[in-house]
Amino acid sequence: MTDDILGGLYPFMDSDELRHKRDKSEALRNSVIQKAAESVSVKQQFFAANSDLLIEIATALADTYTLGGRLLCAGNGGSSCDAAHLSLEFMHPVTAGRPALPAINLSSDNAMITAIANDVGFDHVLPRQLGAIGQPNDLLVVFSTSGCSSNISSACEKAHRMGMKVVAFTGNQGGDLAKTPYVDYCLIVESNSVHRIQECHLACYHILWDLVHTLLADQRMRLPGSY
């Protein structure tokens, strides 16, 4: 039946070509199912191991907002998109009745990034911004799938020395971010696939957003800087 259908679609192909196309389609279908299963498995293992830590982080961020602090976010490449996404979630809540809370993505200003990188060096891009706008009661969240980005490590050190709490989203074995004393909370997705790591990061910070709002539910109208 499949060969008949493919034969109607591709009348100039012989039976071997049709068989090859069918086998290729089946292989691609299996690949989709396998990757989806991997994504689910990575998330299940991560949350089984890190649920308590995620609640600690949510509590720290809720405390940050209670004290008038802000969420600051940073990352490189695809991880900068996660930083943008996380800051957007807090600034523009998608759930009715939840207030906007102050969040800043330090990886979004192209003019700022290229100016500092060109004039001083890429590793100074984030620390310089932190030094200019950061406050001790802010909380920094960084994203790095490898955990080995030197500019991210520099940002963590600067934030720590300024008195901020620092949260790292990373992958594999955590890299440098899992070892540095400048990170207070390190969420490690134990996978060597960048895609699986980022998919898990996405699920994690969506849950983080919900937890923070749940913790702040009784004091929404009294939060400094909320809207």
Residues 6+ apart with CB under 8 A from 24: none
* Domain formed by 50-218, architecture: 3-Layer(aba) Sandwich (3.40)
Averaged over 121-126, what is the pLDDT?
Answer: 98
58 pLDDT above the threshold of 70: yes
Q: What is the pLDDT of residues 150-163, one digit of tens each?
A: 999 999 999 999 99
- Give the start-to-end residue ranges of the domains of the chain: 50-218
Sheet with 103-105, edge to edge strand ranges: 103-105, 71-75, 139-144, 165-171, 185-189
Angle between helices 194-215 and 15-66 (to 10 degrees): 30
Query: Which of 13-22, 24-33, 184-193 is most confident?
Result: 184-193
Alpha helices in the chain, H assignment, sequence order: 2-9, 15-66, 78-91, 110-119, 125-133, 150-161, 194-215
Q: What is the pLDDT of residues 81-91, one digit of tens each?
A: 999 999 999 99
Q: Which two tokens stand for residue 116?
A: 């500092």
